[in-house]
Amino acid sequence: MGGLFHNFFANRSLFFDLLDRAAKNVVDMAKLLTSVINIDTPAEREAVFKQMDKMKIAGDDITHKICLCLDKVIFTPLSRNDIHALASAIEDVADMIHEASGRMYLYNIDEFAPSIKEIAAIILKASLQIEQAVALLKSSKKTDELLGLCLQIKNYERQSDLLYNHAVAGLFDHEKDAIKLIKYREILSSLETSVNKCKNVTDVLNIILIKS
């Protein structure tokens, strides 16, 4: 019986630690995203984009480890479906941040509109809230705090929607270069979708809280 309890608590720590690492990786990627739009020289910017690729791969590895553990571990701290859904939702955020930065690099953007900087800042704020919320899953006494973080992330998603809609409308009103318009619109779309993916993480967290 003692061995069963030991395995349960060891596996509890294993899964929560991996989820914490996944959330922290998203924060690091969001920080890198906000830094790249303030870099002036192409050489420095290229180095940052390469670092973003490495972080994306690191995030994929964490998700892969979680899936492997789900196949092997008998005792899990949350339902297998919930752990998988949460890991996938966090990975989706990382994927979209990576896509946004990739478009900036491929389109050779050297001037970033205020709306791009504002949505990038929202992504970082939402990512930090995700990191805090995931960390709170370990404690059954932090439900209200966790719900508050989820609500704030949803507010960020609404702010991002407004910024995106106004920014795209502004592009169609003022941008005369069709190619440049398309480039900026696609970057804005990736950024806005990144915030939407952050909101999707809160949907999974809310389901977990309801079940608990």
Q: What angle do CA 66, 77, 201 make, to 5 degrees?
A: 60
Class of CATH domain 2-211: mainly alpha
Compute the CA torsion angle 116, 119, 121, 126 (nearest 10 deg). Answer: -160
pLDDT in tens, 83-122: 999 999 999 999 999 999 999 988 988 788 899 999 999 9
Cβ-count burial of 178 within 10 angstroms (0-12 exposed, 13-18 middle, 19+ buried)?
exposed
The answer to whether residues 113 and 154 touch, using CB atoms and an 8 Å cutoff, is no
End-to-end CA distance of the chain: 24
What share of the chain in percent tops pLDDT 70? Answer: 94
- Give the 3-state secondary structure of residue 95: helix
- The full set of domain ranges for the chain reads 2-211
The answer to whether residue 1 scores a pLDDT higher than 70 is: no
Higher-scoring residue by pLDDT: 189, 7: 189
User: pLDDT-based confidence at 10, cuts 50/70/90?
Assistant: low
The answer to whether residues 75 and 7 touch, using CB atoms and an 8 Å cutoff, is yes
The answer to whether residue 77 scores a pLDDT higher than 90 is: no
- Residue 7 has what pLDDT? 54
Nearest to 87 by CA among 208, 210, 212: 208
pLDDT in tens, 148-207: 999 999 999 999 999 999 999 999 999 899 999 999 999 999 999 999 999 999 999 999
pLDDT in tens, 43-57: 778 888 899 999 999
Q: Could you tell me where the DSSP H helices lie in 37-142? A: 42-72, 80-106, 114-136
Average pLDDT, the chain: 90
User: pLDDT-based confidence at 2, cuts 50/70/90?
Assistant: very low
Q: Which pTM value belongs to this model? A: 0.92
